[in-house]
C-alpha cells in the first residue's frame, strides 16, 4: 500500500471508500510526510516499542508506526474506517486495529498483555474537541506510560506548557505538568491536513514522570482545589475555592492555609506554581481532618 502521507494517495482512498469527513469525530487527516517523520522521531519509536495509537483515521500515521515499532495497537472509534484500515495496513503483521472508544479500554491490561507490564508509548492525532479528556483520562488512570506524543490545537499545546502568571496557565497546565514534562516539538500549519482545520496545530510530547515531582497527601483533593481555583479566573484563589463549593473548604480555612504559606489573601490561583498548589492542598487537607 502506498504511503498515505502523500496527498494523492489519501485522496484516492477517500474516493474509493466514499469517505465523508465526520464532524462529530473532528476528522482531519494528516498529509505531510515531514510532519509524520517529526512525530515518529519525537516519540522515539524503535523496534523494541509497543505503541498505542489513538485515532488512526485511515492509517496515515499507523503506517509510519508499523515501519518503526515492534507492535502497534490502533484504537479507532469510527466503525466506517475499519474496512479502510484493513486495506491501508494490509502489508503489516505487527498491528491490531480495535474499533472502540479509547476511554473504555483497560490500558493497564493492554500494557500487561502486550508489553509485559512495561511502560508503553502513546501516539495520537486526536479530534481537538476531545483532546483534553482523552489525555487527562490516560494520565489520571496511572497506566504505565513512557510518553504521549500528540497532535493538538496550538492553543492547547501552549496551555499545557504554560508557566505561572501567564494568560495560558491554568488547571490543564498544572495537571499535565504534575504527570509529565511537556515539550512542544513543532507547529503544524492547516495545509498539512485534509480537510484543512480552522485552527493552528502543534505536536507536543509529554514525557511521563516515573514518580510525581511533588509530594501530595491526597491527589484527588489537589485537583479539586486546582479546578476550583481556576473556575472563576478573575477572582482571588480564596473566593474561587469557596464559591466553587465542591471542595468542602470554608473561607477561614483557606485564609489559615494562605497565612501558613506566607501568601496574601488577595492572591489569585494563576500566581501559584505546582509546588505551591501541592503545599497548599496538603495544608488544607490537614486542616479539614482536624
Question: Is the pLDDT score of 104 beyond 70?
Answer: yes
Question: Is the pLDDT score of 234 beyond 90?
Answer: no
Topology at the third CATH level for domain 7-208: Rossmann fold (3.40.50)
Tell me the C-alpha distance between 14 and 7, whole Å.
11
pLDDT at 124: 93
Tell me the C-alpha distance between 112 and 94, whole Å.
17
**Mean pLDDT of the region 232-260:** 92
Whether 230 contacts 270, CB under 8 Å: yes
* 98 secondary structure, DSSP code: E
Residue 163 CA: distances (Å) to CA of 106, 185, 219: 33, 17, 21
Question: Is the pLDDT score of 25 beyond 80?
Answer: no
pLDDT higher at 197 or 26: 197
pLDDT at 125: 86
Tell me the C-alpha distance between 270 and 146, whole Å.
29
Structural domain boundaries of the chain? 7-208, 219-288
pTM for the predicted model, two decimal places: 0.91
Question: Is the pLDDT score of 17 beyond 90?
Answer: no
**Sorting pLDDT into bands at 50, 70 and 90, what band is 224?**
very high
Q: Please enumerate in sequence order all residues whose Cβ is within 8 A of that of 220, keeping only pairs 6 or more positions apart, or say none.
A: none
**Mean pLDDT of the region 199-216:** 93
H or E stretch including 75?
strand 71-76
**Sorting pLDDT into bands at 50, 70 and 90, what band is 194?**
confident
CA 131 to chain centre: 6
Find, among 173, 116, 124, 174, the residue nearest to 148 by Cα.
124
- What is the average pLDDT value for the chain, to the nearest integer? 92
Question: Is the pLDDT score of 7 beyond 90?
Answer: no
H or E stretch including 263?
none
Tell me the C-alpha distance between 148 and 32, whole Å.
20
Domains 7-208 and 219-288 share a fold: no
Look at strands 29-30 and 193-194 and give their pairing: antiparallel
Q: Provide the 10 A C-beta neighbour count for residue 48.
A: 10
CATH 1.10.8.100 fits 219-288, yes or no: yes
Whether 206 contacts 179, CB under 8 Å: yes
List pLDDT tens digits, range 261-274. 999 999 999 999 99
Question: Is the pLDDT score of 52 beyond 60?
Answer: yes
**Mean pLDDT of the region 264-287:** 96
Cα angle 269-273-279, degrees, rounded to a multiple of 5? 90
**Sorting pLDDT into bands at 50, 70 and 90, what band is 174?**
very high
Amino acid at each position: 500500500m502506498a504511503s498515505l502521507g502523500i496527498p494523492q494517495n489519501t485522496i484516492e482512498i477517500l474516493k474509493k471508500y466514499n469517505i465523508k469527513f465526520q464532524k462529530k469525530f473532528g476528522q482531519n487527516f494528516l498529509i505531510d510526510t515531514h510532519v509524520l517523520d517529526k512525530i515518529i522521531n519525537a516519540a522515539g519509536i524503535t523496534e523494541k516499542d509497543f505503541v498505542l495509537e489513538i485515532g488512526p483515521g485511515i492509517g496515515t500515521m499507523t503506517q509510519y508506526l508499523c515501519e518503526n515499532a515492534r507492535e502497534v495497537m490502533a484504537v479507532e472509534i469510527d466503525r466506517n474506517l475499519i474496512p479502510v484500515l484493513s486495506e491501508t495496513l494490509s502489508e503489516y503483521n505487527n498491528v491490531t486495529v480495535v474499533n472502540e472508544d479509547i476511554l473504555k479500554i483497560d490500558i493497564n491490561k493492554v500494557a500487561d498483555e502486550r508489553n509485559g507490564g512495561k511502560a508503553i508509548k502513546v501516539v495520537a492525532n486526536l479530534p481537538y474537541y476531545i483532546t483534553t479528556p482523552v489525555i487527562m483520562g490516560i494520565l489520571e488512570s496511572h497506566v504505565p506510560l513512557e510518553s504521549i506524543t500528540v497532535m493538538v490545537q496550538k492553543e492547547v499545546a501552549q496551555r499545557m506548557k504554560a508557566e505561572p502568571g501567564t494568560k495560558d496557565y491554568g488547571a490543564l497546565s498544572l495537571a499535565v505538568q504534575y504527570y509529565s514534562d511537556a515539550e512542544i516539538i513543532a507547529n503544524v500549519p492547516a495545509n498539512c491536513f485534509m480537510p484543512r482545520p480552522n485552527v493552528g496545530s502543534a505536536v507536543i510530547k509529554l514525557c511521563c514522570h516515573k514518580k510525581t515531582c511533588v509530594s501530595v497527601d491526597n491527589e484527588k483533593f489537589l485537583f479539586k482545589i486546582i479546578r476550583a481555583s481556576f473556575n472563576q479566573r478573575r477572582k482571588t484563589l480564596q473566593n474561587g475555592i469557596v464559591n466553587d463549593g465542591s471542595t468542602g473548604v470554608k473561607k477561614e480555612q483557606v485564609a489559615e492555609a494562605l497565612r501558613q504559606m506566607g501568601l496574601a489573601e488577595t492572591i489569585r490561583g494563576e500566581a501559584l506554581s505546582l509546588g505551591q498548589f501541592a503545599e497548599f492542598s496538603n495544608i488544607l487537607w490537614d486542616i479539614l481532618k482536624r
